[in-house]
């Protein structure tokens, strides 16, 4: 996993890879996808004791969500 930085976001916007709205939409979709993945893993393996690789995957998904949420905050700050 990599951390999205302000300079990465600026490059994407300045380079025309994304518009502000399309990047915001993409980040929101990524958050929704990761939350769905977590729900599916929990349904598949239950809320009790689960294999360690499943727990690790869930933690990684939560970290990705946190990363995308921070990127959204950076993006909001850049719009001002």
Separation of alpha carbons 48 and 11, rounded Å: 43
Q: What are the backbone dihedrals phi and psi of residue 2, each rounded to the nearest 5 degrees, phi first?
A: -120, 160
Judged against a pLDDT cut of 80, whether residue 55 lies above it is answered with yes
**pTM of the predicted model, to two decimals?**
0.87
pLDDT in tens, 3-18: 899 999 999 999 999 9
From residue 70, give the alpha-carbon distance in Å to each of 35, 48, 55, 64.
Answer: 16, 30, 23, 10
Separation of alpha carbons 10 and 62, rounded Å: 24
- Reduced to 3 states, what is the DSSP secondary structure of residue 49? coil
Q: What is the mean pLDDT of residues 51-80?
A: 93
């Amino acid at each position: 996993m990599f951390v999205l930085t302000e300079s990465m976001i600026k490059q994407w916007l300045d380079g025309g890879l994304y518009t502000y709205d399309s990047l915001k939409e993409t980040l929101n979709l990524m958050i929704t996808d990761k939350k769905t993945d977590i729900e599916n893993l929990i349904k598949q393996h239950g809320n009790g004791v689960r294999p360690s690789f499943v727990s690790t995957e869930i933690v990684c998904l939560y970290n990705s969500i946190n990363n995308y949420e921070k990127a959204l905050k950076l993006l909001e700050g850049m719009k001002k």
